[in-house]
Amino acid sequence: MVNLMFIIFAGVTVLGALGAILNRNTVNAAMSLLVCLAGVAGLFIQLDAFLLAFLLILVYAGAVVALFLFIIMLLDVKGSLGGLNRSMGTVATLVAVALMIAGVAAFLRHANLPSVETPMSVGVGSSLKAYAELLFTTYLLPVEVVGFLLLSAMLGVIALSRKLS
Amino acid sequence: MIQSSLFAYIGLSAVLFAIGFIGVLIRRNAIVIFMSLELMLIASTLALVAFSKYNQTMDGNVFVFFILTVAAAEVAVGLAIVVALFRQKQTIQVSELDSLKH
Amino acid sequence: MNPSTLALLLIVVPVGSAALTASFLRKKHALATLLSVLVATFYLGGALHLALGGARFESSYSWLKLANLSVDLGFKFDDLAALMLSIVGIVGFCVHIFSLGYMKEDPAKARYFAGLSIFMASMTGIVFADNLFMMFIFWELVGFSSFVLINHWHEQNGPMNASKKAFITNRVGDFGFLIGIILCYYLRGTVNLSELSAQAKAGGAVLSTAVPLLLFCGAVGKSAQLPLQVWLPDAMEGPTPVSALIHAATMVAAGIYMLCRIEVLMVPEALTVISWVGALTAVYAALCAIIQRDIKKVLAYSTLSQLGYMVTAFGLGSLTVHSESGAEIVIKAGVGAAMFHLTTHAFFKALLFLGSGSVIHGCHHEQDIFKMGGLSKTMKVTFLKFTIGVAAISGFPLLAGFFSKDAILFLAYSNNKAIFVILALTAAMTAFYMIRMWIIVFFGKARSDNAAHAHEGGFIFQAPLAILAILAIVGGYRGLYPHGFDGILNLVAEAEGPAKLGMLVVSLIVLSLGAGIAFALYRSVATLTQRDPLEAKFPKLFVSLVHLKESFDSLYSYYVEKVQQRFAMLLNFFDLLGIAGLLRIGAGAFSLLGFGVRALHVGRLNVYLYWFFFGVVLLWLYAAGIF
């Protein structure tokens, strides 16, 4: 059981992510994203953030990805079985990938993150009360702002989807 | 349960981020580009939660709330834009959306 | 009134009149004319008052101070300046009055009179200048006013080209002049004339041959010596009164005046060069004058010749004479002889030019002498005065030119026999061509309609001629001059004893030689056609003299076309390549930059992201400590 759960979920996540970006069929790509989200939710549970895990499934998987699928179905364009972007050029892509990997590696080496497995106590994030405490005291302002953001987003969407008469 | 190292989680988060970024770079379909964008956001939430657990605080977890909200709002607005664009141009391939080309 | 204030007024008032005319009175010809003539009258009065009233002073205002160099504007009013000022005043006044009649129908009278005023002011500046810088400033101003006046009828090509030629040729001489001034300042530490002569008296000053010769370059340009004499005959394109004032009496004499001023800087080698240049000019001009058809060109070449006389006289240097007390002293006879001849020349040359103006006006602007004739009967008064002028310049005894030329010949005989021979020959030629012109213009029968209907001008024409005729008669008697001019006129060396008789004989011989040949060649004047008998009888001589006249002009035009133009094109090419090229490289770099930046706007999302990613990578590398 040594890290086995972690490895499983991590693998699921990565495979899902790769599928999301590499799949020709757009719907398939959305499904892969779903799988990825499931993996991440599992990882959250391992990190004792149970509420967040379920929230992820509810909001992300349930709303966002659903919205994606909805739009994909709506814009049923034949040519949108998106192929890979040829205009970038293969060389540029490879260079980008290489740089990405190099960046990540360099970053990780310098990050001084402890690689020893430390036994920790049960995560603090397991109770709902803890969330509420922080949300309504320290982070009250961001909450209000985010509410405002949602309002403006809603207005924006309505404005955008009006047909000009 | 034996916990995994912080390094592993952060590494995974970084890898996810990288995958998401590459997806943005190489895909032509606007919607798939959005999905890769979401992938990047997910990666950042993972990192936040891992750090929060490591530091024994709640801040990281709470922040995920906000990220989630913002992500939702962003997706909504972005897709609305895509739909409007589709109405104009009948395409969502970003290689054909080049009216700003000099 | 304070003499120095009066002197300042003599410069400022003509400038003011010219400025006023140029700004406001351009179309009000009568008003401008009146103003200018009033100014000329004031000028004459002021000049004579200063010169004869015995005021001699020096004053100066410091104008520019740059470290050790101080450019002052000052007045040095001694006997030399007094003499020159009187000449300028008298001749200027006569010319102004004459112009009232001559330019009556001219449509641009106001501009003409403004030009005359500017000239008077600039010439006064040269006369009064107490240091070489100030003299140079007014030197250039005089050149400018000459340009304006020659170019009076600027609609035609002839005056335009002539004025440009005059200005450019003068400029060439002035370049040498300027270098000479700078060198003088460098070697002597001052350009103030009084200080220079004080240095010379005290002895031990650094003497150099270069400085006087370079300063002489200015005189070569302004007084039209070889090789820069090409502009003076062409300057006859200007109106005749202008030729009388500027190109006979005053401006061209400014070179001689300047030489007399810098006499303290002279060294024997420089003087030799100067005297030979003058002698060669005199001979060359006389040869060219023999074949001229235009009345003004004859007078122009004769001016050149007489200027050569003056320069030679100056260059012949000093002489040992017996003073009144019997002791032997060295006097600067060159300066004396040159200035004396300058004075008499001013009078009779102005008389001749204004007389020719009267003739031209009478013959309805006909200037070819072979189209005139028989004017002795139709223009009696002008004939009389013109004859006086011709006699004076030929050295007829008892008239002004006789005495001054005598002084020069005596000086030449004492100091340099070769030059004496040349000058004597030139005197003979002078008599020849002047009498030739006199015969052809006034005798025989009228050779064209214009001459047949010639008429005298009115009082306006005759009054100035009368004044100048009187001066041409009495101007030779030095005793008659006011004592104010003693400082200069006492420097004229007179022959004594047997030498005196010898000089008299020589003068008479050359006069009769020249006149005789002239009478012989042109005796059949009654049957003269419009062709020169000289050309008919001696065609080869005639042609060679014509070539002589044109040689300098063709040399210069060859140089300008083939050498200078090509050099200028080369410089133009380098300018386009280098300077414009440098600018274009700078501009090109920027447009390249702009091009590059513009190329980033491909309109494609992925490319933008790529660049964004590139920036992020750089930041990463920095964070990773690689940079």
Residue C178 has a pLDDT of 93
Residue among A85, A107, A110 minimizing CB distance to C606: A85
The CATH number of whichever domain residue A22 belongs to comes to: 1.20.120.1200
SS (H, E, C) C202-258: HCCCCCCCHHHHHHHHHHHHHCCCCCCCCHHHHHHHCCHHHHHHHHHHCHHHHHHHH
Chain A interface with C: residues with Cβ < 8 Å: 85, 87-88, 92, 96, 99, 103, 106-107, 109-110
Our CA-based measurement puts residue A98 at a distance from the nearest CA of chain C, in whole angstroms, of 11
The verdict on A61 and A101 lying in the same domain is no
Q: What residues of chain A, 93 to 132, have a C-beta less than 8 Å from chain B?
A: 93, 96-97, 100-101, 103-104, 107-108, 111, 113-121, 123-125, 130-131
Q: Is the pLDDT of residue C211 over 90?
A: no
Interface test with C, best of B17, B19, B21, B25 (most C CBs within 10 A): B25
**For residues C247-269, average pLDDT:** 84
Residue B25 has a pLDDT of 80
Our CA-based measurement puts residue B53 at a distance from the nearest CA of chain A, in whole angstroms, of 6
Residue B28 has a pLDDT of 80
**Do C95 and C346 meet the contact criterion of CB atoms below 8 Å apart?**
no
Q: Is the pLDDT of residue C270 over 90?
A: no
Our CA-based measurement puts residue A125 at a distance from the nearest CA of chain B, in whole angstroms, of 6
Residue A122 has a pLDDT of 56
**Do C56 and C194 meet the contact criterion of CB atoms below 8 Å apart?**
no
Closest chain B residue by Cα to residue A23: B32
The lowest-confidence range among A96-110, B16-30, C140-154, C350-364 is A96-110
Residue A132 lies in a domain: yes
Our CA-based measurement puts residue A36 at a distance from the nearest CA of chain C, in whole angstroms, of 24
Q: pLDDT tens for residues C390-432?
A: 988 888 888 888 888 888 888 888 888 888 999 999 999 999 9
**Do C177 and C128 meet the contact criterion of CB atoms below 8 Å apart?**
no
The lowest-confidence range among A50-54, C230-234, C526-530 is C526-530
Please give the Cα distance from B45 to A37 (Å, whole number).
11
Residue written as token pair 């939660």: B49
The verdict on A11 and A61 lying in the same domain is yes
- Residue closest to C441 by CA, chosen among C302, C298, C577: C298
Residue A113 lies in a domain: no
Residue A45 lies in a domain: yes
Asked if C613 and A99 come within 8 Å (Cβ–Cβ), the reply is: yes
Residue C60 has a pLDDT of 79
The verdict on A87 and A137 lying in the same domain is no
Q: pLDDT tens for residues C280-327?
A: 999 999 988 888 888 899 999 999 999 999 999 998 877 666 666 666
The verdict on A145 and A165 lying in the same domain is yes
- Residue closest to C50 by CA, chosen among C95, C11, C19: C11
The verdict on A101 and A144 lying in the same domain is no
Q: If residue C70 lies in a helix (H) or strand (E), which one and from where to where?
A: strand C69-77
The verdict on A26 and A1 lying in the same domain is yes
Asked if A108 and B14 come within 8 Å (Cβ–Cβ), the reply is: yes
Asked if B26 and C601 come within 8 Å (Cβ–Cβ), the reply is: no
Q: What residues of chain B, 48 to 67, have a C-beta less than 8 Å from chain A?
A: 49-50, 52-54, 56-59, 61-62, 64-66
Asked if B35 and A30 come within 8 Å (Cβ–Cβ), the reply is: yes
Q: Is the pLDDT of residue C446 over 80?
A: no
**For residues C427-456, average pLDDT:** 82
Q: Is the pLDDT of residue B18 over 80?
A: yes
Residue % of chain C over a pLDDT of 70: 95
Confidence of residue B71 (pLDDT cuts 50, 70, 90): very high
The verdict on A28 and A61 lying in the same domain is yes
The verdict on A44 and A70 lying in the same domain is yes
The verdict on A46 and A87 lying in the same domain is no
Residue A115 lies in a domain: no
Cβ contacts (< 8 Å) between A109 and chain C: which residues?
624
Give CA separation, C519 vs C211, C434, C541, in Å.
47, 11, 18
Residue C302 has a pLDDT of 92
Residue written as token pair 């058809």: C293
CB of B97 less than 8 A from some CB of A: no
The verdict on A57 and A86 lying in the same domain is no
Residue A123 has a pLDDT of 56
Cβ contacts (< 8 Å) between B45 and chain A: which residues?
40, 52, 56
Write out chain A's pLDDT in tens, 165 residues.
Answer: 447 888 899 999 999 999 998 888 888 999 999 999 999 999 998 888 888 999 999 999 999 999 999 998 888 755 444 455 555 566 777 777 777 777 777 777 776 666 555 545 555 556 778 788 888 888 899 999 999 999 999 999 998 888 765
CB of A30 less than 8 A from some CB of B: yes
Residue A124 has a pLDDT of 58
Residue C527 has a pLDDT of 66
Among A34, A55, A77, the domain-final residue is A77
Residue C140 has a pLDDT of 92
Asked if A49 and B46 come within 8 Å (Cβ–Cβ), the reply is: no
Residue C489 has a pLDDT of 76
Residue A101 lies in a domain: yes
Residue A123 lies in a domain: no
**For residues B79-89, average pLDDT:** 87
ipTM for the predicted complex: 0.88
How far from the centroid of its chain's Cα atoms is residue B26's Cα?
A: 15
Residue A30 has a pLDDT of 92
The verdict on A57 and A90 lying in the same domain is no
Residue A7 lies in a domain: yes
The verdict on A13 and A68 lying in the same domain is yes
Cβ contacts (< 8 Å) between C604 and chain B: which residues?
94-95, 97-98, 101
Residue % of chain C over a pLDDT of 90: 17
Give CA separation, C210 vs C190, C313, C315, in Å.
16, 20, 15
Closest chain C residue by Cα to residue B21: C613
Residue written as token pair 């502009």: C231
Q: pLDDT tens for residues A43-73?
A: 998 888 888 999 999 999 999 999 999 998 8
Closest chain C residue by Cα to residue B26: C606
The lowest-confidence range among A28-32, B74-78, C611-615 is C611-615
Count structural domains, chain A.
Answer: 3
Residue among C604, C606, C620 minimizing CB distance to A106: C620
DSSP C102-141: HTTT-TTHHHHHHHHHHHHHHHHHHHHB-BHHHHHHHHHH
Closest chain B residue by Cα to residue A164: B84
Residue A62 lies in a domain: yes
Q: Is the pLDDT of residue C212 over 80?
A: yes
Confidence of residue C627 (pLDDT cuts 50, 70, 90): low
Q: Domain range for residue A165?
A: 128-165
The lowest-confidence range among A41-55, B9-23, C71-85, C308-322 is C308-322
The lowest-confidence range among A82-86, C46-50, C126-130, C506-510 is A82-86
